[in-house]
Structure 1
Amino acid sequence: MDERDEWLNRLRVMRLAWPVRCQRVFTPEEMALLRQGLWPTSLEDRWVVWLDQGLLRVWRAWTGECIYEAEITEDDAGAGQCRVLRVCDDADVYTRSSGEAGEIDRFEGVLAMLLGRRKEAAA
Structure 2
Amino acid sequence: MLRVEGLRKGFPTPQGRLEVLRGLSCRVAGGEFVAVVGESGSGKSTLLQVLGTLEPPDAGEAFLEGTALFALSPSEQARFRNRMLGFVYQAHHLIPELTALENVMLPLQIRGAM
TM-score range, shorter chain: under 0.3
The structure showing larger relative contact order (alpha-carbon pairs under 8 Å, at least 6 residues apart) is 1
TM-score (norm 2): 0.25
